[in-house]
Amino acid sequence: MFVCTGNICRSPLAQAVLEKMARDRGVAEHLQVESSGTDGWHVGENADSRMRETAAARGVPLDHRARQFSPGDLQDFDLIFAMGSNHLKAIREIDRRRGGQARARVLLFREFDPALPGGGKAPDVPDPYYGGPEGFHEVYRIVERTCDEILNGIQEGRLP
């Protein structure tokens, strides 16, 4: 599962990109990929039109309805990738309030970004919502290369 703020830009893009990569590699039937938002502002809405256009230009369908992160997601998924440190903190706080019994490993998405040097704190995936087209393209590039690394990790057994 991928988690951002409103589940209309970053996390649904990561879901769509990883799903397409998994289909292309013939492993989609072995994965359950979803996304959600820490906040409920956009529940039921489509992904942002600018993100849909950015994804479509690269052959990635982004047919998505936003949903809010649920405490049950901590038990339903093996891996939860937070797009930002604020999302990571929110998810870990939900887990703490529920007794810290999450089945899922909760990780910062860009810890797996192959373009970043190892050893330092991974940055957030920037939120393109209030910016222009280049912000959406940059987020796509980050998400694509990071999802590729995540899927490699799953296929190679480095990630559950």
Question: Of 10, 50, 52, 110, which one is the catalytic site residue?
Answer: 10
Q: Which residues contact 120 (CB under 8 A, 6 or more apart)?
A: none
Q: What is the rounded end-to-end Cα distance, in angstroms, of the chain?
A: 13
Q: How far is CA 142 from CA 44, 54, 94, 111, in A?
A: 26, 13, 27, 12
Residue recorded with tokens 């891996």: 79
Contact (Cβ atoms closer than 8 angstroms) between residue 9 and residue 139: yes
Task: Of 128, 130, 8, give the one whose Cα is nearest residue 68.
Answer: 8
Question: Of 92, 127, 145, 148, which one is the catalytic site residue?
Answer: 127
Annotation marks residue 24 as catalytic? no
Instruction: Please state whether 119 falls in left (phi above 0), alpha (psi between -120 and 50) or beta.
Output: left
Annotation marks residue 127 as catalytic? yes
Contact (Cβ atoms closer than 8 angstroms) between residue 107 and residue 80: yes
Annotation marks residue 9 as catalytic? no
Question: Of 4, 48, 52, 73, which one is the catalytic site residue?
Answer: 4
**Strand order in 35-37's β-sheet?**
35-37, 2-4, 79-82, 105-108
Active site residues: 4, 10, 127
